[in-house]
Amino acid sequence: MNALTALVRKDIVLYFANKRAVLVTVVAPILIAAFFGAVLGGPPKKPSRIPVAVVDLDASAVSKSIVAAMKSDTTFDLRETDEAQARSLVREGKVRAAAVIPAGFGDDAPKAMFRPNAKKPEIAVLYDPSQAMALALVKGLLAEHVMKQVSRAAFSPETGRKTIASIRGDVEKSAGLDDRQRRDLLSLFDSIDKLQSNTSATAPANAGTMQGFSMPFETREAEVSGNRERNYNGYAHSFAGMGVQFILFMGIELGVGLLLMRRLGLWKRLRAAPLSRATLLGSRIASGAVIASIIFALIYAAAIAVFGVRIDGSLVGFIAVGIAFAILTSTFGLLIAALGKTPEAARGIAILATLLLVMLGGAWVPTFVFPQWLQDVTVVVPTRWAIDGLEAMTWRGLGLEAAVMPVAAMLAVSALFAWIATKRFDWEE
């Protein structure tokens, strides 16, 4: 066994002898990654329905059809109740929002389609301020169902003729319209009446099926990931991010440990031996990389076994990215020791640097939520290459070629860290 191997073995044995530190380093990222993964979506599952209440104060055919459409919409978990109970449900957080359909809505809404300047009936939407993000979704889906049912009422043969006849009378008597506007509106009503008559004549058995206005297209949701048979798993990102963060914290401990060795006089003893500087520092890099690789493997073993994370891309690429990041972590720890001078100073600098690296690298939230200028800047952050490489090899399902740039970038930064650390390390203290 040569000197380098003996030094590496010594560092690994000493690190894993501290059972509490090892437990924290492995368990903490798993727990935090599980939390963030659940927040970001977790494993594939049936979309949760939004709890919503509806109050129908109108009880007309139109309002009843709106309520029925909302009940059949799988997006809603609908509760039909009175206004007081609806307010109570929102206040207690049992529903995200409540829609109150006012009395007279069934008569006023179809007429408002043809009288833009007239006062329109209002549907009150009561919502939980802590769930304000759900408000836009609820309002959008509500608008879709209301528009469909109101347009059906305005154009269907059963109810539309009565509505058009009422509006025609208002237009003929209105003093606010000039002759041209009045003539155009009356021509429009004649066309609608003709359409209603043709519908009744050609399809008497299904006279109530006229749909009115509707969207000119439909949407089909399809997630794009590496494996078409599996949907995106939010745990894939959270384990990449938390793994990177806590392995970097382990690198801090390696750097601080080196400074403690020097303070206790152990470094002088090692330097007294016939060992070169390259052997001494190289052993620290090698042992740190081995320790980081073991922790990396344990974290992802939990991710795969418990949280359904899968390596849908290149397994070789995944291992290469992991090893490259382990080397980056080890040289980062050495850089901390070189720049920090003392254990106390090194720890403070290292924690700040680590938090910046994981934050800008997208460990906490994906980088696509960053402003574009910040996304461009973070290309030089090595932790972003680590996280992008891990995601490419897991849920994105990319090939080995997608791991080349992340590995090359991390190894280049590792070489830079090692060079700076060697130049700046105080050998005499």
Q: What is the pLDDT along the chain (429 residues), one digit of tens a residue?
A: 577 787 777 777 776 776 666 665 667 677 666 655 655 555 555 556 788 999 999 988 888 988 998 888 888 889 999 988 988 888 767 788 888 998 988 877 776 766 655 677 888 888 876 566 677 778 888 888 888 877 776 666 555 566 666 666 666 666 666 777 777 767 766 776 666 566 555 554 444 444 444 443 444 444 445 555 666 677 888 899 999 999 999 888 888 888 887 777 776 676 666 667 777 778 888 999 999 999 999 999 999 999 889 898 899 999 999 999 999 999 999 898 888 777 877 787 788 888 888 888 888 877 766 777 788 888 899 999 999 999 889 988 888 999 999 999 999 999 999 999 888 876 555
Bridge partner list, 55 = 100
Supply the DSSP symbol for 97.
E
Tell me where in the chain the CATH 3.40.190.10 domain(s) lie.
Answer: 50-209
Task: Sort strands 97-101 and 124-127 into parallel, antiparallel or unpaired.
Answer: antiparallel
Q: What is the pLDDT of residue 378?
A: 87
Q: For the range 176-184, what are the long-range contacts, defined as Cβ-Cβ under 8 Å and sequence gap of 24 or more?
A: 176/117
Residue 272: its H or E element = helix 266-272
Cα–chain-centroid distance for residue 348?
31
Q: What is the pLDDT of residue 221?
A: 45
CA angle 407, 32, 361 (to 5 degrees): 35
CA-to-CA distance for 243 and 350, rounded, in angstroms?
A: 17
CA-to-CA distance for 392 and 406, rounded, in angstroms?
A: 10
Q: What is the architecture of the domain spanning 50-209?
A: 3-Layer(aba) Sandwich (3.40)
Do the beta carbons of residue 254 and residue 295 sit within 8 Å?
no
Q: What is the pLDDT of residue 235?
A: 85
Please count the other Cβ atoms lying within 10 Å of the Cβ belonging to residue 100. Answer: 20
What sign results for the dihedral spanned by CA atoms 112, 116, 120, 122? positive
CA-to-CA distance for 12 and 216, rounded, in angstroms?
A: 65
CA-to-CA distance for 247 and 29, rounded, in angstroms?
A: 9
Do the beta carbons of residue 299 and residue 243 sit within 8 Å?
yes
CA-to-CA distance for 390 and 241, rounded, in angstroms?
A: 9
State pTM to two decimals.
0.60
| CA distances to 191, 266, 294, 329 from 384, in Å | 62, 36, 21, 14
Q: In degrees rounded to 5, what are phi and psi of residue 4?
A: -60, -45
Do the beta carbons of residue 247 and residue 292 sit within 8 Å?
yes
CA angle 84, 86, 89 (to 5 degrees): 115
Please count the other Cβ atoms lying within 10 Å of the Cβ belonging to residue 166. Answer: 13
CA-to-CA distance for 57 and 78, rounded, in angstroms?
A: 16
Q: What is the pLDDT of residue 42?
A: 53
Which of 90, 85, 55, 89 is closest to 70 using CA atoms?
55
Please count the other Cβ atoms lying within 10 Å of the Cβ belonging to residue 226. Answer: 20
3-state secondary structure (DSSP) of residue 229: coil
